[in-house]
Amino acid sequence: MNPSIKFILVFIISLEISLKASLTTNSIVIVCALLYLLWHKISLKDLGLLLTVPLIAAFTIFATLYWFSTKPDHYYAWVLASRVYAYVLSIACVVKTTIAAQLARSFEQNLHLPSKFAYGALAALNIIPRMQMAVKRIRTAAMMRSVYLSFWSPILYFKAILVALSSSENLAQGMESHGYVEGKERSAIIKIPLTSNDWCIFVLILFLFNICLFIFR
């Protein structure tokens, strides 16, 4: 499915389940999301994290509404707890099956997002590994001078900001040297097609979801 359509579908589903309480629909979304992730061969480690990390938030919500409320509501407690997993797993269907570069290119080509935002997002994502390596080099250089820079040290972040500013200037010069001009139309090396099949799947899934949402409790 087209990345933009997939993102919009997950956004609409998340918005609708937040407006209407339906434990059955939440369960269906969770099961379908798990099957989709397994179909795309998600690793057991990532799947385990997706199931265990939201457990704290889901359990807290359930305990607050069921055990610590003046008027315990068993059903509504399960609804809100299941929403946590529905949100996390549905978003994981986009994150775990779509490359960030594909999503940014799809936003630019299919949703007509300005190129400066698309390229800016790609630049920010691509610079993260470089910043991680820069922070490691800064800490290593400091340790060679018998200075330990902790995670919350302002000196570490000040030096990291200087590295980021230098990298941003190099990136801007590189984009200009490759012919990037803000506001001008650009040709796409990698096309992200938006076909009629994508729209058919989008409408079908949304139609079936709304039937479940307004029929089942």
What distances in angstroms separate CA 44 from CA 49, 50, 89, one per listed residue? 9, 10, 14
**The pair of three-digit structure tokens given for residue 50, joined into one six-digit string:** 């997706």
pLDDT at 33: 92
Residue range 11-36, pLDDT digits in tens: 999 999 988 888 899 999 999 999 99
Residue 182 scores a pLDDT above 80? no
Cα-atom radius of gyration of the chain, to the nearest Å? 23
- Cα 130 off chain centre by: 21
pLDDT at 154: 77
Angle between helices 115-144 and 100-110 (to 10 degrees): 150
- Distance separating alpha carbons of residues 187 and 142, to the nearest angstrom: 45
Question: Which residue type does 184 have?
Answer: K
